[in-house]
A and B are shown apart, each in its own frame.
Chain A
Amino acid sequence: MAETVQFDLVSPERSLASLQAEQVQIPGAAGDMTAMAGHAPTITTLRPGVLRVTGPAGETEYVVTGGFAEITADGISVLAERAIPRAEVTQEHLNEMLKAASDALNKAKEVFKNEPGPVDDAAKLLADMVAMGTHIGLDPNVSNL
């Protein structure tokens, strides 16, 4: 059996998971990374995506948006602004998140006309959400946005 590491997933409102995990696949802002026991201490921000936890009881997946992951010698903690078990994600959740992201993009376009930075960030966030939606098999519905 593989070595395990303490894994915590917390959102502002409650703690979603706390278990011994063999490996955790984290959707980092700079790309996915898989953390296992003995990983170098790392802090990374999250992009919207699927967090996959492999524990003794099998694999669990969560859809997470916003926040960061902290990997230390003692364990892995993911602090996500929103985290929903993948099985519970519905089309409404996705639509709501997409709408928030596209609103943010439109606002960024208005506010920062001459600065590409924030606009690109918001566009990337929306694109990440759409990609996540497709990934988990829901209709990203881009045409209505």
Chain B
Amino acid sequence: MPSLKDLKNRIESVKNTRKITKAMQMVAAAKLRRAQEAAEAGRPYAERFNAVLSGLAASVGGSDSAPKLLSGTGNDQVHLLVVMTAERGLCGGFNSSIVKTARAKAQQLLAQGKTVKILTVGKKGREQLKRDLGHLSVGHVDLSEVKTIGYVNAQNIARDLLNRFDAGEFDVATIFFNRFESVISQIPTVQQIIPAKFEQGEADAAATLYDYEPDEEAILADLLPRGVATQIFSALLENAASEQGARMSAMDNATRNAGDMIDQLTIEFNRSRQAVITNELIEIISGAEAL
């Protein structure tokens, strides 16, 4: 049975923890709003871009001269998995769910006899993958110094990917990130970015007849690398919003749990205080009776 003082200390420390988690929750809520705005502001660009690109891809895609970024290298032996996670923890299952998805994919590919390479974006992903898949890692992108994600960050990652692609380091690139659905739901998403893949529906919608200047293939060759950057950028934005959402709900839970714990501890504290008083009374009374 813990002493009264121990209980008091514990209540005090849980109260402090609650203050911290509460503060983190509020910070996450503020950041979430900003991240969500950024994600929404970036959406029109990405949507337009993909619509135009898929229209172009549909009209050029069939020909032999289609760029490699669209048609692929012709085989799919080497896969590059780009795993995007957060730089920080304390955001519930956010990082683990991406890592779990990526790990499952990596093992599935390895089982098929493919070569797997992993590029991590964000510290947490690298740490979690280091133990069992660390030997597959080909690089890491550190975003811990970046306060707000800009298009420049996405461009740098895209440039790195394209350089590796040109050097023939991989055939297929897939990105893993969390799509922001709501504060309580973030969906781990797997998206193939090289060679580019488009949904059929988008292509049909963009089937207007355009004049192209310069010609279609030149435009496609110009736009495809930008498309990679655009996709990475929207993935980064979605991820940032998801991270804050996940942290917010995780911290909300933690705050509530701390409150419950404080209530329980307080009851226990009161009970043992009462027990101590009763005990003292009994001692006094029995002492008086013994006289």
Contact = CB atoms under 8 A, between A and B. Distances in A.
B105 to A, nearest CB: 27
Contacts of A59: none
A10 B219 contact: no
Interface in A16-52: 28-30, 33, 40-45
A13 interface: yes
A68 B210 contact: no
A6 interface: no
Interface residues of A, number: 25
A68 B208 contact: no
Given A43-B219, A45-B223, A79-B49, A13 B212 contact: no
Interface in B187-238: 208-214, 218-219, 222-223, 226, 229-230, 233
B41 interface: yes
A42 B150 contact: no
B38 interface: yes
Nearest to B47: A10
A4 to B, nearest CB: 20
B212 A70 contact: no
Given A41-B209, A70-B52, A29 B214 contact: yes
Given A12-B154, A13-B150, A43 B210 contact: yes
A13 B223 contact: no
Given A66-B226, A81-B226, A12 B45 contact: yes
B35 to A, nearest CB: 13
Contacts of B212: 42-44
A45 B214 contact: yes
A129 B151 CA distance: 20
A43 B219 CA distance: 9
B41 A30 contact: no
A41 B226 CA distance: 22
Contacts, number: 75
- Chain A contact residues: over half helix, strand or loop, or mixed? strand
B48 A70 contact: yes
A77 B48 contact: yes
A42 B211 contact: yes
A134 interface: no
Contacts of A40: 211
A55 interface: no
A42 B216 CA distance: 11
Interface in B45-59: 45-46, 48-49, 52, 56
Given A13-B150, A15-B44, A67 B214 contact: no
Interface in A103-145: none
A81 B226 CA distance: 9
A72 interface: yes
12 contacts: A8-B44, A13-B38, A14-B41, A29-B214, A33-B213, A40-B211, A41-B210, A42-B210, A42-B212, A42-B213, A44-B213, A81-B151
